[in-house]
Structure 1
Amino acid sequence: MKKLDRNPRFLAVKLLERIEKNGSYSNLALNQTIKKSQLDERDVGLLTNIVYGVIQRKLTLEFYLDGFIKNGRKVEPWVYELLKTALYQQLYLDKIPKRAIFNETIEIAKVNGHEGIRRFVTGILHEIERKGLPDPSNVKDSAEKISIESSTPKWLVEKLTEELGFEKTISLLKSINEPPAQSIRVNLAKNTVHQAVSALEKEGFKVSKSLVSPLGLRVSGGFIPHSDAYKRGLVTVQDESAMLAVDSMDVKSTDVVLDGCAAPGGKTMQIAAVLDSGRVYALDIHAHKVGLIEKNAELCGVTNYVTAKKTDARKAKEEFDEESFDKVLIDAPCSGLGLMRRKPEVKYDKHFKDSLSLHDVQVGILDQVAELVKPGGRLTYSTCTILNEENQATVDAFLKRHPEFYQIKTETSFKIKDERKTLGLTIYPDDFGSDGFFIATLMKKEE
């Protein structure tokens, strides 16, 4: 057995324990572990698969285990995560022999714990093998049954069904338990899409072009932040759906643009890459995140077009003159429920009351930046969630308070979902295998 600090199964257990305890974002915590651990590509793949898979299937795995951990016995957190990783591998990773899963799991229990923990884990695994797992289809409440099968909190199942209907909800919830694609955006300030593809392929990556964004690529065969192309600022990590906010803004090379909720700066850099005599002002309330924006601007070669400021977007009109900007982007704070595939823990951390509270924050931000938009200018509102309260309902509330604005149909380069009847554009996780996202385009009247 590999040393524990180089063992992908043990690293997965410790990561899962940390995410459960501290509320760390799985993608950030995972990237940090990969950078430190010096695992080979095969072990990186196994680690990534187990971490995302166990979080994605958390409620399902806990439903199965609850029948075997007797009388509400309290189990050490890392042991509980160890059992979930073993069960996940058995159920969802069919290329790994059961004997290998058992042996590694029991050995981890022994080396990281003691003989009592080894016996406990061994007993649970063998009892599951003897008795088999409980069947979720026997659950009578349909929302509860879907909740267990898709590992989605019941309130969210009910809310999505109410908004989208049963079939779309089932399709969406099925898709979020699939592995996320590794997507990147080409930095036009340093190279073309063709040049980026060539550079990546020379490094051994498999590359395919996005169906969502002309700047998007999907890559496999390696960890992008380790690549030379990434380190030189030729490409940056960004989901395909997230690229559409700036894509829809129709930024001109001379535009003065405000990115009101900018950190870590992906959309700021996307705006800056098309500027010539224009400028983008990027705001964030945290000094270290402002520093991150500036660092990203330097890496991407757009420092001359970016001004980062430590400012709350709700106080932006204290920093700038009225009608200063041709374009304003508010990529608003939100529940993040569109990211359930990439950050699966988000679905367990949020409740409907969070969306209602965020709705008020979002309207407040839009209120404050409204005066900064030039007559005839554009205010783009986006979120990475899929609930109406934070999306079109926020836009509607803003428009009621600001008759000087009106909403137009959001359009993208690839004419994504142009056949829809709604003015706002909502991308669901099952539409293209990208993140869930919402974009609304608001115009300020000329008069």
Structure 2
Amino acid sequence: MPSKIKDSQNPRLLAVVTLAKIKNGAYSNLQLNQVIRQHNLKPVDKGLLTTLVYGTIQYRLLLEYWLTPFVKGKKLEPWVRELLLTALFQWHKLNKIPKHAIFNETIEVAKTLGNAGTAKFVTAILHNMDRSELRDADKISDPIMRLSISYSIPVWLVQSLLDQVGPAKTQSILSSLNEAPAQAVRVNTTRATADQAKAALEAEGLTVRDSKVARDALVVTGGHVASSQAFLDGLITIQDESAMLPVEALAIDDQVHSVLDAAAAPGGKTTQIAQYLTGDAKVTAIDIHDHKVKLIKANANRLGLADKVKAEALDARQVPDHYQEDFDRILVDAPCSGLGLLRRKPEIRYEKTLEDVLNLADLQLAILNSVAGRLAQDGRLVYSTCTILNQENDGVIKKFLAKNPNFELVKTETAKDLKSDRKDAVLKIYPDDYETDGFFVATLQKRRD
């Protein structure tokens, strides 16, 4: 791709470049934020760029189902494929952009990133699709394949959800996963009240409402939060509403002097813990990777909480050998498949397999078994994941309790008393419940000897 894209302010061109990098392994949210920071885009163009990137990834299986008959046997450069998929997404999933504008803009991007021959090829494909009828996913005879293509969710995941939550809930979850994710922030209560943070964001032109899910959360629309002065000043940090619930479940009060965050990067929950600590209490935050420990420290510094955070590189499975003291609270926000984040990180759906899920469940159990030995008497251990499959959630807790009879599962409680009438002690948040990330939270209490 030519170097002149460096100065481009064309959201369609930037979307194609961004999508090509994501397809090559980059994380969608990080890559998108980087592109927005590097290019001086108008708010409306930031919005279009974000919509094109997330929308094209979210509907990739369906878009490719439509595109395949028209490019069969042709070898496409990766960016050309992404360009054609973005055109299909705009054409059939956005209703405010005229078809002629979509075609013209797509051809112009082809000229800029390619050459006259590429533009001619793209033009021919677009007009061929316009003359023909796209395949109708609703006519796919196999019901699981029909759901998979219609919602762009891999067959194995559709089947897993059907087995675990049934057809009605599966349909509801799948339909919610392609909705635009909300922007949620957590108020840094050591620097601002919720009203002060809200006023600061509204002064920058953003629309803000209180969260119905988490105590210190605000839901923000109409702007790019990471570019706001409120974010830069450390009044807020970006965190999904559901992601705040595991720390709420820790029930931190002024009797808590030490907390271990056993899989802490990039530090969202670490800093949430830190802002609730009083006196000389500290949170020890560990991650296996040095570069991720730097992210934890950077987040703590931005929020003015560095004096409450001790961050270091360590494999959580080495906790019993590394630390001699016990902790009043332990959080294991375990490495997981991330299948609850598909609205926010849609590419995950195409990267993970059932084998990955099973391997992660083994790792999660190993971490839990390891850190449990460093929980103080009457201490509380919260286990959480941002996934929605039982193998990494209920299954891990069941195996842990079988091996650790000195622990008991107690009801997970949150500040807003979510799902208070549920029968299960664990808290399961599905993406369609509150339009947040999917999360699982289990609270374990250490019995007295």
Per the alignment, residue 147 of structure 2 pairs with: 146
Residue 253 of structure 1 and its aligned partner are, at CA, apart by: 2.8
- Please state if 1:436 is matched with 2:438: yes
The answer to whether the 8 Å contact 1:254/1:275 transfers is: no
Structure 2: how far apart are the matches of 1:112 and 1:355?
38
Alignment of 1:394-409 (within 5 A): 394-409=396-411
What 5-or-longer segments of structure 1 have no aligned partner?
Answer: none
**Counterparts of 1:254 and 1:193, CA distance in 2:** 25
In structure 1, C-alpha distance between the alignment counterparts of 2:218 and 2:38, rounded to whole Å? 26
SS of equivalent residue, structure 2 residue 242: coil
Larger CA deviation: 289-298 vs 45-54: 289-298
1:94 match: secondary structure:
coil
CA distance in 2, matches of 1:29, 1:75: 23
The 3-state SS of whatever aligns with 1:258 is: strand
Aligned residue for 2:307?
304
| Aligned equivalent of 1:284 | 287
**Which residue, out of 364, 368, 371, partners 1:362?**
364
Pick which of 88-97 and 337-346 moved more.
Answer: 88-97
Instruction: Give deviations 1:146-177, integer Å, cap 9, x for gaps.
Output: 00100000111111010010011111011010
1:293 and 2:296 correspond? yes
Report the counterpart of residue 190 of structure 1 in structure 2. 191
CA contact (8 A) 2:338 2:387 kept: yes
Letter matched to residue 314 of structure 2:
T
**C-alpha separation in 1, matches of 2:245 and 2:190:** 18
SS in 2 for 1:68: helix
Q: How does 1:3-152 map to 2 (within 5 A)?
A: 5-21=8-24, 23-70=25-72, 72-152=73-153
For 1:107 and 1:295, locate their aligned partners in 2 and report how far apart those are by CA, in whole Å: 41
Q: CA deviation at 1:3?
A: 9.1
Please give the alpha-carbon distance, in whole angstroms, between the structure 2 residues aligned to 1:248 and 1:192. Answer: 21
Residues 185 and 217 of structure 1 are in contact (CA less than 8 Å); yes or no, is this contact kept in structure 2? yes
Cα pair 1:4 1:11 within 8 Å, conserved:
no
Native 8 Å contact 1:260 1:328 kept in 2 = yes
Q: Do 2:358 and 2:392's aligned partners in 1 also have CA atoms closer than 8 Å?
A: yes
Deviates more, 1:3-12 or 1:211-220: 3-12
Paired residue for 1:418? 420
Taking structure 2 as the reference length, the TM-score comes to: 0.97
| Structure 1 residue 196 displacement after superposition | 1.0
Give the equivalent residue in structure 1 for 2:251. 250
SS in 1 for 2:415: coil
Whether the aligned pair in 2 keeps the contact of 1:426 and 1:439 (CA below 8 Å) is yes
Match of 2:22, SS?
A: helix
Identity across matched positions, percent: 51
Deviation at 1:93, TM superposition (A): 1.3
- State the SS of the aligned residue for 2:8: helix
Q: Does 1:211 align with 2:212?
A: yes
Output the amino acid matched with 1:104: E
Instruction: Tell me the distance in 2 between the aligned counterparts of 1:111 and 1:155.
Output: 39
Answer yes or no: is the 8 Å Cα contact 1:54–1:88 preserved in 2.
yes
CA distance in 2, matches of 1:94, 1:152: 23
Once the two structures are superposed, what CA deviation does each residue of 1:183-208 show, in whole Å capped at 9, x if it has no partner? Answer: 10001111111111122112221101
Structure 1 residue 116: Cα displacement: 2.1
Task: State the distance in 2 between where 1:17 and 1:3 align.
Answer: 15
1:3, 1:103 → 2: CA distance?
A: 22
* 2-structure distance, mates of 1:402, 1:254: 25
Are 2:264 and 2:270, in contact at CA under 8 Å, matched by a contact in 1? yes
Unmatched 5+ stretches in structure 2: none
Q: Is the 8 A contact 2:7 2:39 kept in 1?
A: no
1:274 corresponds in structure 2 to 276
Shift of 1:4: 7.2
Farther off after superposition, 120-129 or 433-442: 120-129
Matched to 2:419, the amino acid is K
TM-score normalised over the length of structure 1: 0.97
Aligned residue type for 2:17: K
**Contact 2:381–2:445 under 8 Å retained in 1:** yes
